[in-house]
Structures are given as structure tokens and as C-alpha cells.
Amino acid sequence: MRLPTFFLFCFLVVLVSSSCSPDNKDGIFFSISLSNYTNSRFNIWGYAPVPGQTVIGIWNNTLPPFKPADNEIFLLMQPMAGVYELRPFLSFDRTLTLEIPVDNITAPDAIIKVNYSQDEDYQRFYIECDVCNLEINTETWAKYHSSCTIQNKASNLCASRASRSDQYANVTQVDCGNASKWDLFGTISPDTMANSTSNVISGNKLAGLIIGTIICTASISFIVCYYFTRCKYSKNVRSIKFAHAINN
């Protein structure tokens, strides 16, 4: 296979690993709604941000323009590149955050709940979206990131609404292949948006990117070495044939 073909292969490997994530190191307020169902949002049950309280995907009949209630707003913190914490707006001291309870960390259908922040992986999430930065600064709530997966860092399972028919369905964790997609609504624009070529990609995509790069680099090195070896061999063969012709 020729070099241009391998360069194209490498490009495709990187391309399929791409996604985008919010980049807001100072924190920004978002409302998280079910994709294509704007009125179904992350919601702190009963306006009570206390440890053990559940998060539900409630149907809210708010008419346009879209405006979430206070218990539907979360401060999106970024303690490290590509990793996020979701802190309820109603928790004014910002000591509470969303989590998958550590006792149920590997359990499918475990419910997302509120608890005091412990800086642990079960309280942190990867957020990866198909489309980012859809809007610039706005005075009203607008969609900034679309079709996102919200994956718990400890369990590697993704947030999903348990039922679309139940108005008060819990937000649980399921296999990411079967999880709901979410849209993030905000009122101001993040500093920048990052894709998979920066530091805000998930561990799985980073591993895929590294493996793909190693494969491509090794393949190109092999082809280059093979090309020069073949050229040198051909040159030596021609020299031998030429010397043989002279001697005869």
C-alpha cells in the first residue's frame, strides 16, 4: 500500500475518535435536557438539594422561550481536563454535587443522587457531544452542546432517563450504547470548545487515538524502511549485473 493511502488511513483513525466537550475551567451554569425533548430535564426532586436526594428527568410544561427552574440548573465544574462535576445551583455554597452512589457504582440502573463533594471519580463525569458551540452569548437560555453522552468516570456507564412515559422518571446509569442523549442549555458562551485533538477527550477515545497513532507510525516507518531497502537492493543488483557484464 502506498504512503498516501496510509496517511488517509491515519486521518480516518483520528477522525472517528473525534468529539467535542465543554471547556469551562471557571465553571458555567447549564440546564441538561433530553435531546429532542426540551422540557424533560435533569431536576433535583422537590427543590431539596440534600444528600441522598434523587435526580429525575421531569417533564416541565414551560413554554418557549425555554427557561429552566432553579432546581434544573447545575454549575458545570471542570476539576481536570475532560472531567466534570455537576453541582446544583440551589446549593449556594457549592459543596453538593451529583454522583452515582459508591455502593452501587457498577450496578446498571443505579440512580444519580446528590451528595457532598468528596473529589472522587464516582462524582465525576465525562461529557462528549456530537455538536458544540451552537450559540454565542445570549440573554436567554439557548442550546450550546447537542446530543451529548454523560458518562460516570468510575462506572463507565452513562446517564439515561429511565422512562419517557413516566413524568417523574429517575435519571439512572446504563450501558452507554443504550443511554439517552442530552443537550446542554446555557446563557453564556464557554471560553473555547475543544475536540479530540486537545486535552478534553475521554480516556477511551484517548486510548484509541494513541493506539491508532502508534499503528500508523509503525506502518509508515515499515513502508519507508522497505522502500529504501528495496531501492538499495535494486541498486546492488544492477551493480552486480553491470560488473558481470563487463567481466564477460
- Domain residue extents for the chain: 1-17+201-248, 20-199
Q: What is the mean pLDDT of residues 146-156?
A: 96
Rounded Cα distance between 82 and 93, Å, is 24
Instruction: State in Å, rounded, how far the first CA of the chain is from the last one.
Output: 39
Is residue 143 classed as helix, strand or coil in its secondary structure? strand
Rounded Cα distance between 43 and 117, Å, is 18
Rounded Cα distance between 193 and 24, Å, is 9
Q: What does the pLDDT read at residue 27?
A: 75
Set of cell numbers at residue 114: 446528590
Q: What's this model's pTM, rounded to 2 decimal places? A: 0.69
Omega before 65 within 30 of 0, i.e. cis = yes
Crossing angle for the helix pair 203-247 and 3-16, to the nearest 10 degrees: 170
Confidence of residue 129 (pLDDT cuts 50, 70, 90): very high
Condensed to tens digits (0 to 9), the pLDDT of residues 174-228 reads 999 999 999 999 876 444 333 333 333 444 444 455 555 566 566 666 665 565 5
Condensed to tens digits (0 to 9), the pLDDT of residues 43-83 reads 998 888 899 999 988 776 555 556 888 999 999 999 888 89
Set of cell numbers at residue 124: 465525576
Set of cell numbers at residue 48: 431539596
Answer yes or no: is pLDDT of 145 > 50: yes
Rounded Cα distance between 96 and 117, Å, is 5
The residue ranking higher by pLDDT, 3 or 173, is 173
- CATH value of 20-199 in 2.10.240.10, 3.20.20.10, 2.80.10.50, 3.40.50.300: 2.80.10.50
Bridge partners of residue 185, in order along the sequence: 31, 143
E-assigned strands of the chain?
A: 20-23, 28-34, 37-44, 55-59, 74-80, 83-88, 96-99, 113-116, 125-131, 142-152, 158-161, 171-174, 182-186, 192-195
The 10 Å Cβ neighbour count of residue 194 is 19
Provide the phi-psi class of 119: left if phi over 0, else alpha when psi is between -120 and 50, else beta: left
Rounded Cα distance between 198 and 187, Å, is 25
Condensed to tens digits (0 to 9), the pLDDT of residues 12-53 reads 443 344 678 887 666 788 999 999 787 788 999 888 889 999
Is residue 74 classed as helix, strand or coil in its secondary structure? strand
Bridge partners of residue 126, in order along the sequence: 151
